[in-house]
């Protein structure tokens, strides 16, 4: 779908940036956009359905004091913009270089967040107005602006926010449902993943450096030792299914599915005792064909679509999309 771009004044003489911006989604794209818009002097509110910021930068606490990343596992750096940010994170101790390849050293750093990806998201959210446990149900026009609404639930009261502009970073099918045809939304398909998290007494058998990427295993696409990458001090392993396995088994009961997946995980569990098992289903894990541009700006210039479905997937893609969304909001030039 072509990019929608028809601002009435952005990038032209007399353009007046918005005063209050609402960002829907507190993942990498949303937090990046919110920070840059706030740094430009505008009021920003971030709303997210999760109990804490992060989105797919997610870390779960398991029995025995273990922690396991169950969404994004690590990230790489390909651009100067992201490199500058990661350099600051390294200096602050927020991230560390984990390794330079799995199974072989290709010289390209893989970075992991200290104490888990959710911890990095929490650092990014410091100083921002983030409303958690808010499940937005509609984004609709009101006057020259927009209103974002949500019902009561998950510990939050029903509420709404008026905005001069809105940045939507949730998976595209969810964004389409929120907009209710007020704005054309691009079509983006996603593949799912199911994460199995296993806490252990004793070390796993995941080989150094603690990560395995698999192309031909019948069940798994990724296996990661959370101790090896610095997420946990107690043994815990993250397993990600192949997309086709997740799609085929999506509706199975959690208990039965966990038991079967745990058997498939046994070669990497080894003789260690299992003390906890958790399952998480990511319906929108990976965009199949990301939109070629970093963000999309809707017809009235006050709605911006961003996230890892725009300009490229993965953590860096989401970061760059957030930067582009902020530029579109602040000066009309994504």
Q: Which of 194, 196, 227, 199 has the alpha carbon at shortest distance from 62?
A: 199
pLDDT of residue 17: 66
Distance of CA 224 to the CA centre of its chain: 18
Rounded CA-CA distance 325/310 in Å is 10
Tens-digit pLDDT profile for residues 303-321: 999 999 997 889 999 999 9
Rounded CA-CA distance 1/302 in Å is 19
Rounded CA-CA distance 184/268 in Å is 46
Spell out the CATH class of 20-51+132-188+289-331: alpha beta
What stretch(es) of the chain map to CATH 3.50.50.60?
20-51+132-188+289-331
Sign of CA dihedral 38, 92, 319, 120: negative
pLDDT of residue 84: 97
pLDDT under 50: residue ranges of the chain:
1-12
pLDDT of residue 331: 80
Rounded CA-CA distance 2/292 in Å is 10
The tokens for 190 are: 């996603």
Tens-digit pLDDT profile for residues 169-180: 999 999 999 998
- DSSP H or E stretch at residue 279: strand 273-287
What stretch(es) of the chain map to CATH 3.90.660.10?
59-121+190-287
Provide the CATH topology of domain 59-121+190-287. Answer: Polyamine Oxidase; Chain A, domain 2 (3.90.660)
DSSP classification of residue 318: H
Q: State the pTM of this model.
A: 0.92
Rounded CA-CA distance 334/234 in Å is 43
pLDDT of residue 333: 57
Rounded CA-CA distance 76/109 in Å is 6
146 and 163 Cβ atoms separated by less than 8 Å: yes
């Amino acid at each position: 779908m072509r990019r929608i771009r028809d601002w009435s004044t952005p990038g032209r003489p007399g353009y007046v940036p918005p005063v209050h911006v609402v960002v829907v989604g507190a993942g990498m794209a949303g937090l990046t956009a919110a920070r840059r818009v706030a740094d430009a002097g505008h009021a920003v509110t971030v709303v997210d359905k999760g109990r804490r910021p992060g989105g797919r930068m997610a870390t779960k606490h398991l029995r025995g004091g273990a922690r396991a990343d169950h969404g994004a596992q690590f990230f790489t750096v390909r651009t100067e913009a992201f490199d500058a940010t990661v350099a600051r994170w390294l200096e602050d101790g927020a991230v560390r270089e984990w390794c330079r390849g799995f199974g072989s050293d290709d010289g390209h750093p893989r970075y992991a967040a200290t104490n888990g990806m959710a911890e990095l998201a929490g650092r990014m959210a410091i100083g921002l107005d983030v409303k958690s446990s808010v499940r937005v149900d509609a984004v609709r026009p009101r006057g020259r602006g927009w209103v974002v609404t949500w019902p009561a639930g998950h510990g939050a009261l029903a509420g709404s926010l008026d905005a001069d502009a809105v940045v939507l970073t949730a998976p595209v099918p969810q964004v389409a449902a929120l907009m209710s045809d007020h704005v054309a939304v691009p079509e983006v398909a996603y593949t799912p993943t199911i994460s199995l998290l296993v806490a252990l007494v004793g070390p796993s058998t995941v080989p150094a450096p603690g990560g395995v990427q698999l192309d031909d295993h019948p069940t798994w696409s990724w296996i990661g030792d959370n101790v090896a990458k610095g997420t946990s001090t107690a043994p815990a392993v993250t397993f990600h299914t192949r997309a086709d396995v997740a799609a085929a088994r999506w509706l199975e009961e959690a208990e039965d599915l966990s038991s079967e997946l745990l058997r498939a995980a046994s070669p990497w569990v080894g003789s260690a005792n299992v003390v906890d098992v958790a399952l998480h289903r990511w319906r929108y894990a990976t965009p199949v064909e990301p939109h070629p541009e970093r963000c999309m700006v809707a017809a009235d210039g006050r709605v911006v679509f961003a996230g890892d479905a725009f300009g490229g997937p993965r953590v860096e893609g989401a970061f760059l999309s957030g930067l582009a969304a902020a530029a579109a909001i602040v000066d009309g030039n994504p």
